[in-house]
Amino acid sequence: MKTLFSKPSDVFVVLPDGSRRSLRDYLLPSAVLMLAALLLMISIFLPYWSMTMQAPQYPKGLTVKVYVNHLQGDVREIDALNHYLGMPPLDEGGRLERSISVVAIVVMGLLVMAAVFVGNQWAGVLALPSLFFPLIFLGDLWLILYRYGHSIDPQSPLGSAIQPFTPPLFGEGRVGQFSTVARPELGLFLALAAVVVVLIGLWLHRAAYKPILEARKKVALTKSGISEA
Amino acid sequence: MKRLFIFLLAITTLLTACGRGAPATPVGQGLPEEAAAVAAERGLTPDDIYAALKTYMPSGQTDPYIMLASGGQSGQVLVIGVPSMRILKVIAVFTPESWQGYGFGGSSMEVLAQGDVNGNQLRWGDTHHPAFSETAGEYDGGFAFINDKANARLAVIDLRDFETKQIVKNPNSINDHGGTFVTPNTEYVVEGPQYAAPIGWEYASLDDYQEQYRGLVTFWAFDRFTGRVDPAKSFQIELPPYWQDLCDAGKGVSEGWVFCNSFNTEMATGGLELGNPPFEAGTAKNDTDYLHIIDWRKAEATFKAGKAEEINGIAVIRLQTAIEEGILYFTPEPKSPHGADVTPGGEYIVVGGKLDPHVTVYSFEKIKNAIAAGGLSTDAYGVPVIPLDQSMEAQVELGLGPLHTVYDDKGYAYTSLFLDSAVARWTLGGPYADKHPEEPWTLVQKLPVHYNIGHIAAAEGDTASPDGQYVVALNKWSIDRFANVGPLLPQNFQLVDISKTGDQMKVIYDMPIGMAEPHYAQIIKADKLKPFEVYPEVGWNPDTMSVDPNAITTEEQARVERNGNTVEIWMTVVRSHYKPERIEVKQGDHVIWHLTSLEQTRDATHGFALSGYNINLSLEPGETQTVEFDATMSGTYTYYCTEFCSALHLEMLGYFLVQPE
């Protein structure tokens, strides 16, 4: 690695105008974008968001961890409790999203990888979905939470006594004897890190490929100048 | 004489009162102010404070040991935390028990029915000696066994859920006592006999006692995989009618052998009303009875070689065969003895004298040598008898009424002294002599207990590696230890601290048992037990330890189906509703009712009580049970949850409507 990056003295990229650039200038954005894609893919296996509920009779608390494609934790028990309030089962929210999320994230990652092989501004367009992804995730989650708190079944034991509400996306809340804490988890942090890494990658990508485009333009200009002459 | 007695009593009372009122050492020194004030106010002695600190269990902390105690004539087994001495659970075994829904519908009906005698429902038991399953002579926490002395039955408790899974009726004995004891790897659960009777509950006149009456020791083969005793792989050995009493399996150097004491080699048959000596005198006439020495590996080989006779569906090795094959030997033991307790390494067998102030210690090595040397004389039935001087290692004088012996990790033995109401600590010799500072085979301390101690239990006390720390005295009488609750008194379990050497044993807790007269108990390290927190899957059948074919896992599957006169119900149970909530049948319908708890949360137990039909279940999280009955009575019945499962527990009910014919 060290020799590849620090001493590429005898290997060059020759631009159309004959100027030379270090090979590293091209390897680096590729590697960074690949890393971003990798971070996204890894996040599939990690929880994005969690909610912990504490009450006296649950000394260990109740936790639900939200992955992009499934829910984990005390889902059964939280559902059992929610039925008193007339809230729908946790599993009912975001079914479509969970069913397509893995494919969507893999595609996003592949698009970021594809950007490596595109030597112009389209690279940025390919990376665009991955940049918006965390925002979309959080927006969707908020919508799901809103729907949970606003689909209260009036036929349930406590349904008529509950005002519609939206459980907090982050931070503390309270339902009955339960205090709840919602927080982002490692998967979401990886997706956010992927955004930063993609941005760095794109900046490096632009720094590497813009000179090629400019050199090409310059050569074209020179050629046309010669032919005119 | 009477006056002297009253005078002595007065003096004693006075001294005791002074002792408590003005303790020698100032109480509460070094204690926090509040605690010192409590100690002063209650008049606690330093010993009391030590005892309190040793046994108090702060909320949320759990005991390092779990004791499984027989529940005596309650037919149950008690689960007790040590050293806090709190009852954690009462396991229903031979007697219906409604909290666990045991005997009020569901699979427990079949378990109880397994113990019936010729179709006669037996719905109680006299549990005596619980035994943990063992691996390499150590409790392994997998299973527990208990006998019913009254009817010669044995039960298997699965320690994954602490529930009784099987009751086995001994087909040839009508009572037992020397059980249950397990061989070091739980190959067999030993059920020793008690009062001799003709084999297979046949009639025979007491005039033919010596010819017709017999003892029977049973080796029940236990299959760890199925968690059940397999009678087809089990066998019995016919014994002379000597009233074999308590048995213990050899381990370590004596692995492969079983030892049982006996107490009626006189073959007394009673008849006080006929002018004969009563049993209590007739059985105590001889100076010695016989310790039975049984080579069970040889017996197993004999059984497998087909040299046993099948009687009532079980293989019986006849007495003559047992003698010829070298399975059975005797050696004398004084006098009307009790207990036969093998030392941790298996080197010695200790027998309590009961009517003799000694314990007699037998050396297994000497026994083996005597058997190898041969030339032994025989008893009336032809069983070879090893003379006492060829089998005995030592006799230790302990006091009056020595019964049972347990062991610790410091080379001490602890023997219950019934008549002296005391626990005797004494030293072992041989390989144990280096573990304690005292001379081998000597009495070290006699600790008064209250009162009439029967059995005694020690932490891991009859494993290959006892823990020391605690001994529990299982006292038969409590007399003045507790508030008066009428003429039927609780028994008294007294916890004894044995952590210090020498004469420093102390009683540190009195635990009333107000529900039965326990006999033996075993104490296991709590971390060896790994029970379920909830059943592993929704729809679990605790009887088969697998998912029940009639389990349903969602409320959508709940339904009622009619097939002719049979109504079959698949019901879900979850906080705080049953589904369906209305069941309508016609009078005379046969009802099959499958209930599945959808819960997976610890302690979210539901009940199912059906009024009028004597049905009550406990449905633990994930459990499936099936109840079957005929709707013989018309009317409007309710079923409801008997566990306070939630704030809406009272609302958890349904209607069972039976239309008249």
CATH code where residue B609 lies: 2.60.40.420
What pLDDT digit, counting tens, does each position of A33-79 carry? 999 999 999 999 999 999 999 999 999 999 999 999 999 999 999 99
3-class state of residue B67 by DSSP: strand
pLDDT at B311 over 90: yes
Residues on chain A touching B604 (C-beta within 8 angstroms): 80
Going by pLDDT thresholds of 50, 70 and 90, the confidence category of residue A2 is low
Which residue is closest to A61 within chain B, CA to CA? B601
Tell me the whole-structure pTM to 2 decimals: 0.90
Last residue of a domain, one of B370, B397, B424: B397
CATH at residue B291? 2.130.10.10
What pLDDT digit, counting tens, does each position of B223-242 carry? 999 999 999 999 999 999 99
Q: Residue B601: which of A77, A84, A157 has the nearest Cβ?
A: A77
Q: What per-residue confidence (pLDDT) applies to B83? A: 98
What pLDDT digit, counting tens, does each position of A200-225 carry? 999 999 999 999 989 988 888 888 77
Q: Is B575 on the interface with A (CB under 8 A)?
A: yes
Q: Do A80 and B651 touch (CB under 8 A)?
A: no
> Helix (H) and strand (E) counts for chain A?
6, 7
Residue A1 lies in a domain: no
Q: What per-residue confidence (pLDDT) applies to A176? A: 83
Q: Is B534 on the interface with A (CB under 8 A)?
A: no
Q: What per-residue confidence (pLDDT) applies to B5? A: 47
What pLDDT digit, counting tens, does each position of B411-438 carry? 999 999 999 999 999 999 999 999 999 9
Residue B589 lies in a domain: yes
Mean pLDDT of all residues belonging to chain B: 95
Q: Is A84 on the interface with B (CB under 8 A)?
A: yes
> Could you tell me the residue range of the domain that residue B174 belongs to?
170-397
Last residue of a domain, one of B344, B375, B397: B397
What pLDDT digit, counting tens, does each position of B629-651 carry? 999 999 999 999 999 999 999 99
Q: Residue B153 carries which DSSP code?
A: E
pLDDT at B17 over 60: no
Residue B474 lies in a domain: no
pLDDT at B307 over 80: yes
Q: Do A76 and B576 touch (CB under 8 A)?
A: no
Q: Is A183 on the interface with B (CB under 8 A)?
A: no
Q: Do A80 and B575 touch (CB under 8 A)?
A: yes
Q: What per-residue confidence (pLDDT) applies to B14? A: 43
What pLDDT digit, counting tens, does each position of B111-145 carry? 999 999 988 999 999 999 999 999 999 999 999 99
At B232, list the tokens. Answer: 């087809």
> Could you tell me the residue range of the domain that residue A140 belongs to?
24-202
Per DSSP, the residues of B263-331 read S-TT-----GGGTSPPHHHHTT-SSEEEEEEEEHHHHHHHHHTT-SEEETTEEEE-HHHHHHTT-EEEE
- Tally of domains within chain B: 2
Going by pLDDT thresholds of 50, 70 and 90, the confidence category of residue B10 is very low
Residue B406 lies in a domain: no
Q: Residue B574: which of A74, A80, A157 has the nearest Cβ?
A: A80
Q: Where are the alpha helices (DSSP H) in B144-295?
A: 209-212, 279-282
Q: What per-residue confidence (pLDDT) applies to B13? A: 45
Residues on chain A touching B651 (C-beta within 8 angstroms): 157
Best of B555, B597, B600, B603 to mutate (most A CBs within 10 Å, chain A): B600
Residue A117 lies in a domain: yes
Q: Is A77 on the interface with B (CB under 8 A)?
A: yes
Report how far Cα B100 is from the mean position of its chain's Cα atoms: 19
CA distances from B487 to A15, B1, B466, B483, B503 (A): 109, 28, 38, 11, 36
Q: Is A176 on the interface with B (CB under 8 A)?
A: no
Q: Is B599 on the interface with A (CB under 8 A)?
A: yes
Q: Residue A76: which of B576, B600, B651 has the nearest Cβ?
A: B600
Distance, CA of B266 to CA of B288 (rounded, Å): 10
Distance from CA of B66 to the nearest CA of A (A): 23
Residue A216 lies in a domain: no
Distance from CA of B596 to the nearest CA of A (A): 15
Q: Do B600 and A77 touch (CB under 8 A)?
A: yes
Residue A213 lies in a domain: no
Q: Do B574 and A84 touch (CB under 8 A)?
A: no
- Tally of domains within chain A: 1
At B419, list the tokens. Answer: 């008549």
> Helix (H) and strand (E) counts for chain B?
10, 45
Residue B218 lies in a domain: yes
